[in-house]
Amino acid sequence: MIELIKNEKGIFKNLINGKWKDSTTESTITILSPLDNSELGKINAMTREEVDEAIETAKIAQVVWRSTPLNERTDILYKAADLLESNLDELVQLLIMEIGKDKNSAISEVNRTADFIRFTADIAKNMGGESISGDNFPGYKRNKVSIVTREPLGVILAISPFNYPVNLAASKIAPAIVTGNSVVFKPATQGALSGLYLAKIFEMAGVPAGILNTVTGRGSEIGDYIVTHKGINFVNFTGSTEVGHRISNITSMVPLLMELGGKDAAIVLKDADLDLTAKNIVAGAYSYSGQRCTAVKRVLVVNEVADQLVEKVKILVEQLKVGNPLTSKDNVDIVPLINSKAADFVMELIQDAIEKGAKVLSGGTRKENLIQPTLMDNVTVDMRLAWEEPFGPVLPIIRVKDADEAIIIANQSEYGLQSSVFTQNINDAFYVADKLEVGTVQVNNKTERGPDHFPFLGVKSSGVGTQGIRYSIEAMTRPKATVINITQ
Ligand SMILES: NC(=O)C1=CN([C@@H]2O[C@H](COP(=O)(O)OP(=O)(O)OC[C@H]3O[C@@H](n4cnc5c(N)ncnc54)[C@H](OP(=O)(O)O)[C@@H]3O)[C@@H](O)[C@H]2O)C=CC1
Ligand SMILES: O=C(O)[C@H](O)COP(=O)(O)O
């Protein structure tokens, strides 16, 4: 199917108004694989005029789409989910090559996305509006009734990051279109081929012309133009806090739904089940080399059990499989990072911590962009690793005297995505959970986004608004009240 979306020069086309179009510009971006530097294809660096066309076409098409029966819109989503599954092998291969995901994680991303799309259709079909009688409020009678329906917002701008190019695109596109919105989708540049593939799936499933349009090009070049475009009615962005802040600063009167960076803490109390804790911490911190916003990014463990926990974590870290998914026989947990800039940054954080007295218990070395899973003990709050998000396979252990000190350090972060607390005492779990300034607290589990119908949100610099299937649907619609006044 890849062949259907690229031209004879290997340039991937964009879906605009139901047609896969070549750009009018000669300006292209070459997508190389982080695994072997091979060229996977080229994408167009679209011009402003082409962006205008994508947004204008979305605006016009939405007018008809919002009146299309919901059951027809949901049928398209069910078809898209089936098509994703029937094209799993090719898409998995593309994900592995384009973003260096290990095979198991790539398969899981595609299957989870199909489930997400189906569940979105199910929820949309089962969501109703409400009717409110006037007499609930003093001075009014039952002859006044408000019928509250949910209306689409118009044109949704969906911007996705590199690490889940299919799932974090579909989790914006599916709730948007099922509710009668149209979409302009700007994938991450590294991840754009997978994103365009997803768009092809939606098109094949029957999404009408103009309802899903794609825009490719570097965010640094066209990002400001798209997010501030007057044709956009809602921005759903997942990516770094830096870009999120920028979008928030330059937009005006447009609702934002943003999931940004994190520094999720795993807080370990003295009565925690340490085997379960260590297992969760290692799975949470290192899968896909830590390139997940919800990765466990620091451990705050009380002194009484710190030595025991560290020993258990170290044993598991040393069992992680490290390698290049292209050349490794088995599935690997630790893969090369997305690019050398990302790997340089992780090494910089490790070096800073070493210079300030942290101890490397495992890893700490790099071969090209493959960084060994790194475990660092005795990390203290004067080190950058205590606060900055590495988006790589390095985990700092910060020792604390008690739960209260852990809470203070956890909350001092600029981020507030998730936290875990490990304890066998339900009262302590609630005590800690109640005080943490995050969107979600996981009790005795690693930090993670799923299941996808749960609310997913970050506070402080980790985001604005709430995702999760029903929550995204609500965010992308607004109530509309039609008031019936019955003459009596
Ligand atoms: N909380 C969450 O749910 C998640 C958060 N993240 C966070 O994302 C980061 C990693 O992802 P990464 O892709 O590198 O993030 P970036 O912020 O670099 O990019 C995200 C998206 O924004 C685009 N973009 C870049 N500049 C602009 C701009 N000025 N205006 C509009 N769009 C722009 C990018 O395009 P281009 O690729 O062309 O630059 C890409 O599509 C981490 O910080 C991580 O924590 C990631 C996943 C989930
Ligand atoms: O992009 C991310 O990193 C995700 O939103 C996290 O999802 P996960 O917890 O399912 O990996």
Q: What is the CATH topology of the domain spanning 11-260+465-480?
A: Aldehyde Dehydrogenase; Chain A, domain 1 (3.40.605)
Residue 350 is predicted with a pLDDT of 98
60, pLDDT greater than 80: yes
Residue 309: per-residue pLDDT: 98
Four-residue CA torsion sign, 294, 295, 300, 305: positive
Which protein residue's CA is at the shortest distance from atom 10 of ligand 2? 449
Q: How many angstroms is it from 80 CA to the middle of ligand 2? A: 22
Mean predicted confidence (pLDDT) in 298-325 = 98
d(Cα 298, Cα 363) in Å, to the nearest integer? Answer: 16
Give the separation between CA 349 and CA 357, rounded to whole angstroms. Answer: 13
In angstroms, rounded to a whole number, what is the distance separating the alpha carbons of residues 334 and 370?
Answer: 8
Using pLDDT thresholds of 50, 70 and 90, give the confidence band for residue 118.
very high
Residue with CA at minimum distance from ligand 1 atom 48: 293
pLDDT of residue 25: 86
Q: What is the mean pLDDT of residues 96-123?
A: 98
pLDDT at 203: 98
pLDDT in the model for residue 128: 87
Is the Cβ–Cβ distance between 191 and 162 less than 8 Å?
Answer: yes
How many angstroms separate the Cα of 108 from the Cα of each of 3, 72, 229? 24, 28, 35
ipTM of this complex prediction, to 2 decimal places? 0.94
In which band, very low, low, confident or very high, does the pLDDT at 129 lie, cut at 50, 70 and 90? Answer: confident
Residue type, 316: L
Measuring CA to CA, which residue among 182, 174, 176, 172 is closest to residue 60? 182
Residue length of the chain? 488
The pLDDT value recorded for residue 26 is 86
Task: Provide CATH 3.40.605.10 ranges for the chain.
Answer: 11-260+465-480
Query: Is this prediction's pTM over 0.90?
Result: yes
Identify which ligand lies nearest to the alpha carbon of 186.
Answer: 1
Q: pLDDT digits over 251-308, tens only?
A: 999 999 999 999 999 999 999 999 999 999 999 999 999 999 999 999 999 999 999 9
Left if phi > 0, otherwise alpha if psi is -120 to 50, otherwise beta: which for 64? alpha
Classify residue 230 as exposed, middle or buried by CB count within 10 Å of its CB (0-12, 13-18, 19+): exposed
* pLDDT score at 329: 87
Question: What integer pLDDT is reported at residue 419 of this predicted model?
Answer: 98
* Span from the CA of 61 to the centroid of ligand 2 (angstroms): 32
How far is Cα 481 from Cα 477, in angstroms, rounded to an integer?
13
Catalytic residue among 98, 259, 388, 448: 259
Any ligand 2 atom below 6 A from CB of 446: no
Superfamily of domain 265-452 in CATH is: Aldehyde Dehydrogenase; Chain A, domain 2 (3.40.309.10)
Distance (angstroms) between ligand 1 centre and the Cα of 422 equals: 31
- Mean per-residue pLDDT for 343-352? 98
Please list every protein residue whose CB sits less than 6 Å from any atom of ligand 1.
159-163, 186, 188-189, 218-220, 223-224, 227, 238-240, 243, 246-247, 259-262, 293, 389, 391, 417, 458, 463
**How large is the average pLDDT for residues 23-45?**
96
Question: pLDDT at residue 362 above 80?
Answer: yes
- Residue 1 has a pLDDT of 85
Q: Are the beta carbons of 392 and 369 closer than 8 angstroms? A: no
Among residues 398, 393, 401, 372, the alpha carbon closest in space to that of 383 is found at 398
pLDDT at 43 over 90: yes
Give the closest residue to 370 by CA, choosing from 347, 349, 390.
347
Instruction: Specify which residues 256 forms β-bridges with.
Output: 235
User: Which ligand places an atom closest to the C-alpha of 223?
Assistant: 1
DSSP per position, 14-83: EEETTEEE--SS--EEEEE-TTT--EEEEEE---HHHHHHHHHHHHHHHHHHTTS-HHHHHHHHHHHHHH
Probe residue for ligand 1, chosen from 184, 215, 238, 340 as the CB with the greatest number of ligand atoms within 8 Å: 238
Q: pLDDT tens, 218-229?
A: 999 999 999 999
What the block records as the tokens of 397 is: 């252990």
Q: For the segment 379-427, what is each residue's pLDDT rounded down to a tens digit?
A: 999 999 999 999 999 999 999 999 999 999 999 999 999 999 999 999 9
488 pLDDT higher than 90: no
Catalytic (active site) residue 259: yes
Residue 474 CA to ligand 2 centre (angstroms): 21
Q: What is the mean pLDDT of residues 451-461?
A: 98
Q: What is the reported pLDDT for 83?
A: 98
